[in-house]
Amino acid sequence: MKIAVAEIDLSALQHNLKIVKQHAPNSKVLAMLKANAYGHGTTQIAKSLSGADAFGVARLSEAVALRAAGITKPIVLLEGFFEVDELQIISNLGLDTVLHTEQQLQQFIEAKLPRSVTVWLKVDTGMHRLGLPPSLFKDALDKLDQHPNVLGEPILMSHFGCADDVEHSLNDYQFGVFNELKQQHSGECSFANSAAILSFPQSHHHWVRPGIMLYGVSPVLSTLAADFNLRPVMTLKSSVIAIREVKKGQSVGYGATWVATKDTTLAVIAIGYGDGYPRNARNGTPVLVNGQQYPLAGRVSMDMISININNTDSVSVGDEVILWGEKLPIESIADYAETVPYELLCGVTGRVEKRFALGSNEFINQS
């Protein structure tokens, strides 16, 4: 009986990388591995993405762990360094760093590094999260030009705020700002995230930065992964642990939020918010058992959920249950929980066993 297992299909991961390259055949690929590879397991994912050109992480600790695991590809610190002392580690491990503030830029220039570092210079083109103001871009380039800490020429990068919404006016505005910056720069550029890879080929440039699409989730609003020939990498599974008869008028679960409208049968499944299944998934959220969808009945508990199997005899204790993934799109579950697939994937907790497969259910590792 499988209890709270995340099956990670590495062949699906490799398929999705091929889709990235089909859309951006002339670009190098900076694959996003931050947040434990979106909940999928950083080391195994990195080892399975041999076709990527570099990896992106958010924290130095993530990069250190990858180097310790034997990953030798370039690794980019997407938020740069947080303390000046981190620059020595960055240099020693051969990591790339993003520079996105004047303070970071100055600290980087003043540092005495054992060897030079590839720099990604991030400019704010309209998202107003991280990045230098466009007016400071040329000055920053001049300061980094021929500096001994800089390996090669800095890479210009920015980030879309609304690429998931293809018609949003901010996209055109950011395109305009970025194109003006390109005129001041002879080096490589990077702008496209997953949504832009699929929707805005004019943004691909030298480097694309796929994240959620690598893991088989659509990055575009109101679409599913299958719309782009993407395959889900994670399938979250568990098992039925009890069958319960409920009389008309009886409630189920904490808060009595679901009440039977007739005599019916429920199945109890061993998964809950303690595993990362969203507590705010509402009544009716679909759950897949034996190829049939059944609706969530009652509030999600820490360790269990209940589904209404409506007096069927085709569900039994021990039956495998799919919460999202293959045959049950995570995009749909996120809609029912009023969140995004990113949060669901990243929220899978440590007590969920990860099982890695290369397809055909041939599992190669457990962690």
**Is a pLDDT exceeding 50 seen at residue 50?**
yes
The reply to whether 179 and 318 lie within a common domain is no
The reply to whether 214 and 247 lie within a common domain is no
The arithmetic mean of pLDDT across residues 129-142, rounded, is: 97
Among all residues, which ones are annotated catalytic? 34, 254
Q: What is the per-residue pLDDT across 192-205, written as a single tens digit (0 to 9) for each?
A: 999 999 999 999 99
Say how many domains are in the chain.
2
pLDDT value of position 362: 58
Q: What is the per-residue pLDDT across 302-336, written as a single tens digit (0 to 9) for each?
A: 999 999 999 888 999 999 999 999 899 999 999 99
Which residues 6+ apart lie within 8 Å of 343 measured at CB?
A: 278, 334
pLDDT value of position 359: 66
What mean pLDDT value characterizes the chain?
A: 96
More confident residue, 164 or 326: 164
| CATH code of 18's domain | 3.20.20.10
Whether residue 308 is contained in a domain is answered as yes
The domain containing residue 196 runs over which residues? 10-218
Q: What is the per-residue pLDDT across 149-163, written as a single tens digit (0 to 9) for each?
A: 999 999 999 999 999
At residue 361, φ and ψ (nearest 5 deg) are 60, 25
**Is a pLDDT exceeding 70 seen at residue 365?**
no
The reply to whether 164 and 275 lie within a common domain is no
Whether residue 27 is contained in a domain is answered as yes
Label residue 283 by pLDDT band (50, 70, 90): very high
The reply to whether 29 and 134 lie within a common domain is yes
The arithmetic mean of pLDDT across residues 2-23, rounded, is: 97
Nearest residue to 54 via CA among 33, 31, 21, 71: 31
Label residue 276 by pLDDT band (50, 70, 90): very high
The arithmetic mean of pLDDT across residues 23-51, rounded, is: 98
Angle at 225 between CA 74 and CA 320, to 5 degrees: 100
**Is a pLDDT exceeding 70 seen at residue 38?**
yes
**In 85-240, where does DSSP find H-type helix?**
86-92, 102-110, 137-144, 169-182, 194-199
The arithmetic mean of pLDDT across residues 133-156, rounded, is: 96
Q: What is the per-residue pLDDT across 223-273, written as a single tens digit (0 to 9) for each?
A: 999 999 999 999 999 999 999 999 999 999 999 999 999 999 999 999 999
**Is a pLDDT exceeding 90 seen at residue 39?**
yes
Label residue 176 by pLDDT band (50, 70, 90): very high
Domain boundary among 156, 185, 218: 218
Question: Which is it for the CA torsion 174, 175, 181, 182, positive or negative?
Answer: positive
Q: Are 355 and 9 in contact, with CB atoms under 8 Å apart?
A: no
The reply to whether 41 and 160 lie within a common domain is yes
The reply to whether 257 and 193 lie within a common domain is no
| CATH code of 264's domain | 2.40.37.10
pLDDT value of position 358: 81
Q: What is the per-residue pLDDT across 336-349, written as a single tens digit (0 to 9) for each?
A: 999 999 999 999 99
Nearest residue to 118 via CA among 160, 73, 83, 82: 73
pLDDT value of position 367: 43
pLDDT value of position 313: 87
The reply to whether 68 and 210 lie within a common domain is yes
Whether residue 127 is contained in a domain is answered as yes
**Is a pLDDT exceeding 60 seen at residue 363?**
no
Our CA dihedral for 335, 211, 174, 222, rounded to 10 degrees, sits at -20
